[in-house]
């Protein structure tokens, strides 16, 4: 990373927090296979508080959690504990109880039928099992409003027991599949997910500032969540997740820092090798970092909860598929990201990508709703574009 990129990246972060519209604060990092090549921060952890955003600020990672839990699933496969293509109900019987939602009757009751086939753990990782999220599915939003279905982020087992939106394996819908996959990990490993992730992923990678429950040090460095109102103004909000939930939600409940997450991304650049030892085998990494949708493609996610998310799609018009457990862009992106790179995001406007071809990965961390906020997402795209301009 040359001095020109550092200056450009610093300017992008400053524009993100001082432009119009702006975001409260941001941390952004780039790594290559050897180590961190850029680290920057700007803004504040909480509007109205002078405490600056710093590189070690702690974020709610939301769906950036998914790849970490997915890594534990792959470790279960490597250890001979799990067959991705066997019915997941073999290990988690409750998943076999779920039916397909065909709609609502005249009185608002559910019209359900048995699925045509069993849900597998591979489907859970690919978002092809039939699960969704209530902020991207009108049916699930109605289920929450009229039938009291709990928000899946809150860690209640009942929050996982949602009907399927289609027959397993027949479509792609972003949802709570990785949360269910975390339950599979618990069953085959014989430990709760927090202990598995700590022993198998976080500790080997030196990710001491990542977990479902913050340490006192993490709590002191926590960046606040913010909400952008309809008038465009930002305000801090109190957002926390249960610290003693019934279920650890591996798809979205981890807290962590940018330096920790960049260690995780670097492991994927290095074919599964972390600074504290090997986490995955090279052949597992190569297998996971490719399309597994067998002809399906991922679609634009249409929001039904504008306070939480805008419509969401990376690189509209470009073909995108899904690996284990990342988006795979099948064509070169306008930013310079090449075909075959992997990446994803988190609901609080966190974004990352892993470019194994060029040996670079990047992370952008911010904390505000709704997802795909213009100022946050445009800043991330500008950051990524500046990196590839420097590489050229």
The pLDDT of 275-279, averaged and rounded, is: 92
Can 66 be counted among the known catalytic residues?
A: yes
How far apart CA 303 and CA 311 sit, in angstroms, is 5
pLDDT for 80 equals 98
Contact (CB, 8 A) for 169 and 125: no
Q: Could you tell me if 286 and 292 are in contact, meaning their C-beta atoms sit under 8 angstroms apart?
A: no
pLDDT tens for 137-195 read: 999 999 999 999 998 888 999 999 999 999 999 999 999 999 999 999 999 999 999 99
> Tokens representing 28?
């952004």
Residue bearing tokens 């990990």: 185
Task: Describe the strand order of the beta sheet including 36-43 as a list of residue ranges.
Answer: 36-43, 25-32, 360-365, 350-355, 342-346, 327-329, 320-322
Q: Identify the three-state secondary structure at position 316.
A: coil
Residue 275, both tokens = 């600074």
DSSP H or E run through 159: helix 157-160
25-32/360-365 β-pairing: antiparallel
pLDDT at 297: 87
- Residue in 54, 350, 345, 12 with CA at minimum distance from that of residue 223: 54
Tell me the sheet residues that pair with 197: none
How far apart, in whole angstroms, are the C-alpha atoms of residue 173 and residue 132?
A: 6
Q: For residues 70 and 181, what is the distance between their CA atoms, to the nearest angstrom?
A: 8
Whether the per-residue pLDDT at 380 is higher than 70: the answer is yes
Mean pLDDT of 37-59: 97
Q: Which residues pair with 27 in a beta bridge?
A: 41, 365
Q: What is the pLDDT of residues 285-326, one digit of tens each?
A: 999 999 999 999 898 999 999 999 999 999 999 999 999 999
User: Hey, which residues does 101 pair with through a beta bridge?
Assistant: 112
Residue 1 banded pLDDT, cuts 50, 70, 90 = low
Helix (H) or strand (E) holding 226: strand 225-228
Query: CA dihedral in degrees (52, 206, 122, 372; nearest 10)?
Result: 10
Which pLDDT band holds residue 29 (cuts at 50, 70, 90)? very high
Q: Is 174 a catalytic residue?
A: yes
Q: Is 105 helix (H, G, I), strand (E, B) or coil?
A: coil
Q: 3 pLDDT exceeds 90?
A: no
Sign of CA dihedral 176, 352, 223, 306: negative
Q: Tell me the pTM.
A: 0.97
Q: Give tens-digit pLDDT for 88-133.
A: 999 999 999 999 999 999 999 999 999 999 999 999 999 999 999 9
Marked catalytic residue, from 41, 57, 63, 65: 63
What pLDDT score was predicted for residue 180?
Answer: 98
Catalytic residue among 38, 57, 65, 66: 66
Residue 133: phi, psi to the nearest 5? -125, 145
Residue 63 appears among annotated catalytic residues = yes
Q: Can you give the residue ranges of every domain in the chain? A: 3-77+188-391
Amino acid 2: pLDDT: 81
In the predicted model, is pLDDT for residue 67 greater than 70?
yes
Superfamily name and number for 3-77+188-391? DD-peptidase/beta-lactamase superfamily (3.40.710.10)
The backbone torsions φ and ψ at residue 109, rounded to the nearest 5 degrees and listed phi first, read: -75, 160
Total Cβ atoms within 10 A of residue 240? 10
What's the pLDDT score for residue 310?
98
Q: Write the burial class of residue 190 (CB in 10 Å: 0-12 exposed, 13-18 middle, 19+ buried).
A: exposed
> What's the CA gap between 24 and 163, in Å, rounded?
37
Whether the CB-CB separation of 351 and 332 falls below 8 Å is answered with no
Rounded to whole angstroms, how far apart are CA atoms 312 and 63?
A: 14
Question: Percentage of the chain with pLDDT > 90?
Answer: 97
Catalytic, out of 38, 133, 174, 388: 174
């Amino acid at each position: 990373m040359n001095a020109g990129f550092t200056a450009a990246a610093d300017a992008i972060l400053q524009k993100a927090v001082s432009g119009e519209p702006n975001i409260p604060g941001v941390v952004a990092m780039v790594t290559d296979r050897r180590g961190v090549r850029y680290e920057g921060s700007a803004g504040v952890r909480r509007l109205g508080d002078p405490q600056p955003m710093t590189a070690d600020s702690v974020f709610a990672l939301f769906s950036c959690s998914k790849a970490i839990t997915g890594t534990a699933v792959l470790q279960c496969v490597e250890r001979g504990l799990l067959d991705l293509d066997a019915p997941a109900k073999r290990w988690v019987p409750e998943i076999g109880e779920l039916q397909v939602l065909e709609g609502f009757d005249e009185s608002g009751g559910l019209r359900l039928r048995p699925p045509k086939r069993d849900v597998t753990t591979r489907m859970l990782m690919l978002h092809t099992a039939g699960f969704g999220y209530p902020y991207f599915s009108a049916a699930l939003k109605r289920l929450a409003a009229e039938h009291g279905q709990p928000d899946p982020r809150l860690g209640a087992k009942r929050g996982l027991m949602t009907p399927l939106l289609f027959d397993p394996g027949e479509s792609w819908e972003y949802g709570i599949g990785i949360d269910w996959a975390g339950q599979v990990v618990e069953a085959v490993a014989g430990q709760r997910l927090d202990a598995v992730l700590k022993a198998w992923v976080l500790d080997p990678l030196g990710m001491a500032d990542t977990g479902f429950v913050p340490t006192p040090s993490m709590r002191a460095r926590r960046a606040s969540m913010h909400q952008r109102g309809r008038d465009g103004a930002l305000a801090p909000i109190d957002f926390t997740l249960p610290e003693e939930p019934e279920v650890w939600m591996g798809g979205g409940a981890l807290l962590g820092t940018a330096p920790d997450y960049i260690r995780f991304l670097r492991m994927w650049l290095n074919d599964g090798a972390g600074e504290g030892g090997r986490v995955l085998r090279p052949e597992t990494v190569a297998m996971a970092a490719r399309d597994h949708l067998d002809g399906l493609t991922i679609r634009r996610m249409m929001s039904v909860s504008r306070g939480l998310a805008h419509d969401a799609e990376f690189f509209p018009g470009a073909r995108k598929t899904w690996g284990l457990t990342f988006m795979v862009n099948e064509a070169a992106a306008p930013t310079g990201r090449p075909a075959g790179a992997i990446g994803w995001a988190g609901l609080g406007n966190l974004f990352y990508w892993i470019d194994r071809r060029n040996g670079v990965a990047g992370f952008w961390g911010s904390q505000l709703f709704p997802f795909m906020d213009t100022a946050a997402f445009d800043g991330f795209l500008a950051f990524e574009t500046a990196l590839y301009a420097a590489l050229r």
